[in-house]
Structure 1
Amino acid sequence: MAEVVQNISRRIRRLLPSACLLVLSFTQMANAEGISFKCGPASGTYFHISFDLESHHAVMETLSGEPLKGRADATEDVVQFHIEKAGYPDLRYVLNSRAGELRSFAVPGRPSFAETVFPCVRTELRPILSRYEYL
């Protein structure tokens, strides 16, 4: 009986490094795939923000359907975005996934870009993120 237990123990020790490597590979693939959120006011109109924290890419699909690209950086449950729009300074947003909200920061001198909080829910990954380099 003791010999059987020792054989099993040796096999497990030999397989453990391979199993750990496999788990790490799947984790990295999941992180590289990206995440999308659907955000918007209660009126039913909404926009999407998609991001990949490994590459720091972010794409916002505006209400009009215009894709805007930018950068995403994360700390715990908060993701900060700097979205590029021609003729404007970077548009700043903070997504709090735990609270389910996206906060936009005001752009000085641009009343249409006032500070606003939008409710958000996670949704399926939007294909626009894969076209980041072409935007």
Structure 2
Amino acid sequence: MTVGPDGRTEVDFRAAKPLTFTAEAAGADIRGTVAYKGSFRGSVTFEGSDGTGRWNPQGRISWSDLNATVRLSEPFKVTLLDGASLADISRDTLPGAGGAVDVHPILRGGTYACAGDTLRLRTRANGPDVTWTFARN
């Protein structure tokens, strides 16, 4: 992820490994992986001081160059999405994932904490509560 001084942000998942997720729905434990492939661009503003505050996406974000593969491992093994464009799906598309899969990763409203070479984002607006951790190269 690259965030410019003007807030322009590019997120590149081309070399990313699958992420694991857990959730509970109707009393059942749900576990699986989501593999994002591709990249997307948007813009953010930061509100706060001393390296903490609000993370606010701005304007339109094009999800058409980002794809996801979602596989459940519990309570049963199934592929819910296989290379689907995030421009074509919503949280309602994945009822079997218990709301745990982020169909609009990273560029959703939330909070940030930046210290040293580490940026932590906790995105909660319009989706699951997810913490993303980034380390500067």
Task: Give TM-score scaled by structure 2 length.
Answer: 0.31
Normalized per residue, the structure richer in strand is: 2
Structure with bigger gyration radius: 1
Normalized per residue, the structure richer in helix is: 1
Task: Give TM-score scaled by structure 1 length.
Answer: 0.32
